Amino acid sequence: MPVAVPARTFQDSELPEYVRALTRRLEDYLPPEQIERVVAAFRRGAEAHAGQTRVSGEPYITHPVAVAEILADLRLDAETMIAAILHDALEDTSYAREAMVAEFGASVTELVEGVTKLDKMHFASRQEAQAESFRKMLMAMARDLRVILIKLADRLHNMRTLTAKDPDSRRRIARETLEIYAPIAQRLGMSMFKSELQDLCFRALYPDRYRVIAERIRASHGNRREAMGRIEAALAARLAEEGIPARVVSRIKTPWSIYSKMRAEHKTLSGIMDVYGFRVITGSVAHCYQALGAAHGLYKPVDGRFRDFIAIPKANGYQSLHTVLFGPFNAPIEVQIRTGDMDAVAVHGVAAHWAYKTGAAPSGAQARAHEWIAGLADREAGTASPLELIENVKVDLFPDEVYLFTPRGAILALPRNATALDFAYAVHTDIGDHAVTARVDGRFAPLRTRLVSGQTLEIVTAPSAQPKPQWLEFVVSGRARTAIRNFLKHLQHEDAVEFGHRMLDRELVERAVSLDTIAPAALEAMLAEMRYKRLEELLADIALGNRIAGTVADRFKTLSGGAVRAPQAAQHERLTINGSERGVLSFGNCCHPLPGDAIFGYLSAGKGIVVHRVECPNAAELRKQSERLLEIDWDRSVHGDYRVELRIEVQNRPGVLATVAAAIAETGTNIENVEYSERDIATATLLFALEVRSRTHLADVMRRVRRAGVVSGVYRHPV
């Protein structure tokens, strides 16, 4: 339990004015004893930060007090206020964690630790440090949502005072805020934070563009005041006639929202400015729909511009009716209709009504936020790299969502541009892992199909189906990407262990040694010396090219103590591959080997075995490192498709590309890419990248292409 604070009143005249201003805000909703604890936190923070100043020259303690003031506007609890004032104390001062726990409690201390960065640790780059700090904050958010509220308020005040920084720092901080913190504020439904953060970032990154748009807003607002007043009065009068209790307010777009709309809709500034925005606040959900009818009766609605976010809320809990009307001044009117509670959630998101939620069930926005953060925490557990985690989170922070239905009528919200496969993983990881196709509104569609709001999906699965590396090329949700990567990593490890065992066993047979002859204690000692916990890790590293099988076999022979066995296989026996070992095998882009080609393997550290054709242009250079060469051959049964390139010389005339592509398509071959490599008046050279099954399949393709009347030569590339 925290110790009792000194019996001193928070109206002390010795307190700075900015602290007294904070206490006046707190008096609106906190009891005096809790406000005194906040003042005690200020005194402790001021003492800890004594002598420290900001870049602007102000005493450093003014920053954490300003952060607390931002949170006081959200009417957050006393613990959050105290943690905000002390949020830099553990990181930047000698104030000890134990002392903070003793004075202000474990809960406050955990909040402070959740916001604290990892500056005391060493990282390879600034990006890695930021990513690891974000991972730490994410874990703290999962335990207590107030961590992110303090962090957002901290970032907001830093952005408000960003002009004190040098230009490079301003741009770096603004870019990070625009990519991470503003989208998080939106994802949590905190539109006021989001809008101000975006505008401050816009001003820091593009000061001239910001100035032009801001000046245009000021001038336009003055010129349009009379027109907006007339529309507002007309809406209010119609609602009153219908007996609908409502309040109508006009909305002014922010510079960032105007700039974003200009880019998204490819419009000029004048085209975007010619829009009137209004918000109607009513007393109930029924009144919202009645107000919608009244607005449509006053001005005609624009077809296709109505959205019902009350029946289908956004992922962050936002609820409202959106409609666009034909206005009286030849300009569209954007109208949002919602209840007072919906408006509070739209503005403050998870922080709405926070002070009154103690011991009660969380609001809809808070429940959705907890669900989202819990999902991120689960994803973090399966993500090895903090940089990978932060990229996945960025994907999840798209400002727009698509809303989809399961066959039973449940609604799922997915990021913009989500595919049927993203939907499958949103339902359940097992559904995604075994997905083969989808039914979209009753019709079969590929897993890569992009989805639009309102569609109903059913995923068709098969027990034998499993994730493929190509899936990563079209999924967009962080959940799907993490699940696919985890499966492929597990598959790669299993393949690597199996293939590494084959490689090591071949070398041991040549040395007439068996693992059975090595004492377990000696084997464990050697693995420990090589920093492996299990033999499987060593075998995987052999297959991935991080260890040479021959060198490891020599060490095993030493451990065997001279015990040998009779050779069981001929020396220099080739390893065979069937194409299913994609976790540890890759195929050289320099020569594109196919089943049927004479091949050899090259052990590339970290990549595993890279397969090359014997006549590869780089073969001579690779053979200089003989210890990394591997004698391999194709198995009798080979699976999968293999990339190959064809150089096709053609007559340069209209339609030639379509003619050649049609000839290739007749063989059932997939065309990955095509480009012109050379071109003159009479002739041209086309480079086709294809997927074929074998040399025999390729020969069939080349015969079909030669029969096309426009082709003068077909060659495998490189020859």
**Residue 628 DSSP one-character state:** G
The count of C-alpha atoms lying within 13 angstroms of the C-alpha of 317, restricted to the half-sphere facing its C-beta, is 30
Beta bridge partners of 630: 601
Report the SS3 class of residue 551. Answer: helix
The tokens describing 396, both together, are 């999840």
List CB contacts of 620: < 8 A, sequence separation 6 or more.
none
Give the integer Cα–Cα distance in Å for 42 and 22: 11
The count of C-alpha atoms lying within 13 angstroms of the C-alpha of 567, restricted to the half-sphere facing its C-beta, is 9
The answer for 353, left when phi > 0, alpha when psi is -120 to 50, beta otherwise, is left
What is the CA angle 486-488-491, rounded to 5?
Answer: 110
The count of C-alpha atoms lying within 13 angstroms of the C-alpha of 467, restricted to the half-sphere facing its C-beta, is 29
Helix H or strand E encompassing 609: strand 608-613
Concerning whether 91 is annotated as a catalytic residue, the answer is yes
Q: Is 212 exposed, middle or buried (0-12, 13-18, 19+ CB in 10 A)?
A: middle
The answer to whether the CB of 313 falls within 8 A of the CB of 256 is no
The tokens describing 462, both together, are 């098969």
Helix H or strand E encompassing 100: helix 97-104
Residue ranges in 428-513 assigned as alpha helix (H): 429-433, 478-510
Please write down the HEC assignment for all residues of 657-687: HHHHHHHHHCCCCEEEEEEEEEECCCEEEEE
**Residue 457 DSSP one-character state:** E
Report the SS3 class of residue 429. Answer: helix
Helix H or strand E encompassing 268: none
Torsion angle of the four alpha carbons 537, 538, 544, 548, in this order, in degrees rounded to the nearest 10 = 180
Report the SS3 class of residue 712. Answer: strand
Residue ranges in 530-673 assigned as alpha helix (H): 535-543, 549-559, 619-622, 656-665
What is the CA angle 703-709-715, rounded to 5?
Answer: 40
Catalytic one of 58, 73, 92, 168: 92
Measured CA to CA in angstroms, residue 369 lies from 141, 374, 559 at distances of: 10, 8, 57
Amino acid at 626: S
Concerning whether 92 is annotated as a catalytic residue, the answer is yes
Residue 202 has a CB neighbour count (10 Å cut-off) of: 23
Catalytic one of 91, 498, 510, 635: 91
Report the SS3 class of residue 280. Answer: strand
First to last CA, the chain: 78
Whether the CA torsion 60, 61, 65, 68 is positive or negative: it is positive
The tokens describing 167, both together, are 């230009």
Give backbone dihedrals phi and psi of 337, rounded to 5 degrees, phi first.
Answer: -125, 125
Nearest to 352 by CA among 368, 376, 375: 368
| Enzyme catalytic residues | 91-92
